[in-house]
Structure 1
């Protein structure tokens, strides 16, 4: 096995290219002793046993979209799954698809298209399915049918911390199946294959309004959130995004010269006809005259292809040309009044620190069942700021802005979306306290010697640990 598995060491050609295979060009200076690139589940098991024998801590990367690049373990092992189990299997009788954690959103979508089937993948074409699922799967049209871990993924193949290959589902190794979604980079095994249900695909439509919100920000935001409440949940994605007017100008400047903040109000619809799409988006037709005069653009309901939606996503999240990223998020507290919520989140959406930074709100109204999975925080909406820039000299300034802004925003939050967990930036709940206590016991059962350390910081938020002075 050791003769067939590709293993890179720091002095080897190709090591740096693989180490830097991250969406974020701000790659931390952590250098794994080994990078292993397995092609099969057996090779993953070999790598885990090798790491145990050498005393190496293991980080796992599938798509490379985790902004803090947490899978990089200094002097440890990086398992890069980009080539793992790349054969799809679609069962025409059961309509079940099985796939690799390294398959991307685009891979899943294009594979299912000839079969006219749909699986609720993520919104960005290059996101790997492993990281997507471990965050719970905040996928397309989540408002209607929940996260992708809610019944869509039926089974996992997992290599455990001792190198065993096991199947986890609702009846076999159920505790492992429960612990995976919602654990993010904290998961204590390696998912090597996944099985998921599919449904008939429908047509895609979207409608957008772009408003110069600079002088009407809070009232516009409040109206937008109130209107979102009236949009039918099934088959509708809602996206509220803020950005500077000069965000897409062809310049190397990281500072906005325009200082005008635009707000995008977008609804994407998965349905059978234009007539149905118009009904689902009809609440936006009450656009007040007081706001309409600030409209920059109104894009009427239009039939789309997935490629068009992915292209739009990439306009707001460019990569591949040295873009540096800092990201944080909160899951909103549904008990907070709308006025207080709008007041508290405004700095994160309006006072953007760089020209290409964006703020985002995703209305969800999602209440997970803690009995089903570790993903357990009730989610009225998620609020995030994605700060994009090019100059490394801005790192400290951006970090300071982000920590200050989101420490204040925590006052109207119940936690953080686990995909954005960064123990070096800010600690926040990734699941409920009761779910976390259960999760930690399961983690200790499967990985008692902490081969996987991505969970560090999770338990600092527990009341018993805060009482002992852990922060």
Structure 2
């Protein structure tokens, strides 16, 4: 294990390994928070040493696996940052059980490439550079969610976790089951360090996609209503649909020229054995209403796609290359809200971008998990999000305000938000749910059992909400 200590003067920190590690997030706009120590761990025993160091120095702990949470909640001033980049950074396969085992910093693309060689698959995340530790803790909004629900439901079978007392515990449905329940959906609020994860796999199939592109001509509501309705009738058999609005993704400046054309696109995928199956499953997209025909740029057709091409597309949408500044706002709609009302409400989030390289996305989850199974249990019909993206630091801090304000009007209309997107530094999100009330109560009880001293402070925003609504803690 290598440990970097915060320099005594701030200026030298800008030119040393400490500062490089401090800023090792996908979002280049890193908060001005300086951990007392950064522990780059290589083994489970080194994780235990980091926890002991935190206890001995009375420091709080933040944990980073991939650094894809845009608000950098793992960065705690005067705390200890445990960086798991090198921790069990491999994928191991058991040919008897067909389970894989991986460390928290293994990237989606790394797991996918290994599984392709084995002829196996499990529903990992969509973005190639996301680490599987953070993905799993957030609940696993994974591939083909309409078919398999959150990945933590049926696919994650066991975890190795270093708890606040420094012990190494195995958590599963039969061993430390309360810890296992809480880990699957707690995200930044988790009160331990996941060091290894075991997951089920299935025989691999072939990936097919149909992409469609439309020009937005004051008809975004019509486009959204048609696309969202159609997504509901796609058979949930290894299928999923995502849609987006954006300006041309080739723009590189932070100024929107006027007039400027917006685009609406969608990608609908099927993970099956043959092209004929994919065409049948995705055939609902063949029926484009007459009133939308004039907006079609490319109606697309179902075609096989390699995983490499799929990840290349994802990377083009939200690049992980250095120098990109990001803000994400999102919410989960109330499935009881009429579609027409929902579309009118989200129109500003889908169209009023503060920069030309920003974009909005709707992932059609069609998933309704149970909080008896795991903590990740809010209804997820549509995951609606806007990625504000910019290059020039001169736009800060005002660039954050437009979408944050728009989503503040949407939160009361939804059931909550995906825990991975929760920003503890945005007061507008203070009362937004990330779990069911039943889940919140149970999580706080389990957290108090394992971390009574609050060594892992990520739970603080949610504890405040629990107290506000009168929960007994």
| TM-score band, normalised by shorter chain | over 0.9
> Which residue, 196, 207, 216 being the options, matches 1:204?
207
Provide Cα deviations, 1:206-233, integer angstroms capped at 9, x if missing partner: 0111101232111111111111111111
Give yes or no for the alignment of 1:6 onto 2:2: yes
> Which residue, 125, 128, 143 being the options, matches 2:128?
125
Q: State the alpha-carbon separation in 1 of the partners of residues 215 and 393 from structure 2.
A: 30
Q: CA deviation at 1:257?
A: 4.2
The answer for the alignment partner of 1:325 in structure 2 is 326
Q: State the alpha-carbon separation in 1 of the partners of residues 149 and 237 from structure 2.
A: 10
Provide Cα deviations, 1:349-392, integer angstroms capped at 9, x if missing partner: 01111101111111122111111111111111110000000122
Q: State the alpha-carbon separation in 1 of the partners of residues 161 and 184 from structure 2.
A: 13
CA contact (8 A) 1:40 1:85 kept: yes
> Which residue, 439, 449, 455 being the options, matches 1:435?
439
Q: CA deviation at 1:460?
A: 3.5
Give yes or no for the alignment of 1:455 onto 2:459: yes
User: How does the TM-score come out when normalised to structure 1?
Assistant: 0.95
Q: Bigger shift: 393-402 or 87-96?
A: 393-402
The answer for the alignment partner of 1:248 in structure 2 is 250
CA contact (8 A) 1:329 1:420 kept: yes
Q: State the alpha-carbon separation in 1 of the partners of residues 260 and 406 from structure 2.
A: 19
Q: CA deviation at 1:402?
A: 2.1
Q: CA deviation at 1:467?
A: 6.9
CA contact (8 A) 2:28 2:326 kept: yes
Taking the TM superposition and a 5 Å limit, the aligned residue runs for 1:326-365 are 326-365=327-366
Provide Cα deviations, 1:241-268, integer angstroms capped at 9, x if missing partner: 0101x3313x433435453221111101
CA contact (8 A) 1:91 1:97 kept: yes
CA contact (8 A) 2:332 2:417 kept: yes
> Which residue, 151, 169, 172 being the options, matches 1:169?
172
The answer for the alignment partner of 1:406 in structure 2 is 407
Q: Bigger shift: 257-266 or 154-163?
A: 257-266
Which secondary structure does the structure 2 equivalent of 1:300 belong to? coil
Which secondary structure does the structure 1 equivalent of 2:152 belong to? coil
> Which residue, 225, 228, 236 being the options, matches 1:225?
228
Describe the shift of the 1:92–1:346 C-alpha distance in structure 2 as closer, same or farther (beyond 3 A): same
How many residue pairs were aligned? 461
The answer for the alignment partner of 1:51 in structure 2 is 54
Taking the TM superposition and a 5 Å limit, the aligned residue runs for 1:267-286 are 267-286=268-287
Give yes or no for the alignment of 1:376 onto 2:377: yes
Describe the shift of the 1:143–1:300 C-alpha distance in structure 2 as closer, same or farther (beyond 3 A): same
Provide Cα deviations, 1:47-77, integer angstroms capped at 9, x if missing partner: 1011101111100000111111110010110
Q: State the alpha-carbon separation in 2 of the partners of residues 313 and 222 from structure 1.
A: 24
Q: State the alpha-carbon separation in 1 of the partners of residues 257 and 176 from structure 2.
A: 52
CA contact (8 A) 1:108 1:119 kept: no
The answer for the alignment partner of 2:10 in structure 1 is none
What's the RMSD between the two structures over aligned residues?
1.4
CA contact (8 A) 1:254 1:356 kept: no
CA contact (8 A) 1:63 1:127 kept: yes
The answer for the alignment partner of 2:155 in structure 1 is 152
Give yes or no for the alignment of 1:301 onto 2:297: no
CA contact (8 A) 2:26 2:322 kept: no
Alignment gaps of 5+ in structure 1: none
Q: State the alpha-carbon separation in 2 of the partners of residues 241 and 256 from structure 1.
A: 20
Q: Bigger shift: 374-383 or 159-168?
A: 374-383
Q: CA deviation at 1:466?
A: 4.9
Q: CA deviation at 1:393?
A: 2.7
Q: CA deviation at 1:46?
A: 0.9
CA contact (8 A) 1:33 1:74 kept: yes
Q: CA deviation at 1:299?
A: 2.8
Provide Cα deviations, 1:394-425, integer angstroms capped at 9, x if missing partner: 23322221221011111320101000011111
The answer for the alignment partner of 1:314 in structure 2 is 315
CA contact (8 A) 1:256 1:354 kept: no
User: How does the TM-score come out when normalised to structure 2?
Assistant: 0.95
Q: CA deviation at 1:316?
A: 1.1
Describe the shift of the 1:372–1:310 C-alpha distance in structure 2 as closer, same or farther (beyond 3 A): same
Which secondary structure does the structure 2 equivalent of 1:456 belong to? helix
Q: State the alpha-carbon separation in 1 of the partners of residues 254 and 434 from structure 2.
A: 35
Q: Bigger shift: 403-412 or 158-167?
A: 403-412
Q: State the alpha-carbon separation in 1 of the partners of residues 186 and 113 from structure 2.
A: 28
Taking the TM superposition and a 5 Å limit, the aligned residue runs for 1:45-194 are 45-194=48-197
Q: State the alpha-carbon separation in 2 of the partners of residues 59 and 29 from structure 1.
A: 15
Alignment gaps of 5+ in structure 2: 8-12
Describe the shift of the 1:448–1:256 C-alpha distance in structure 2 as closer, same or farther (beyond 3 A): farther
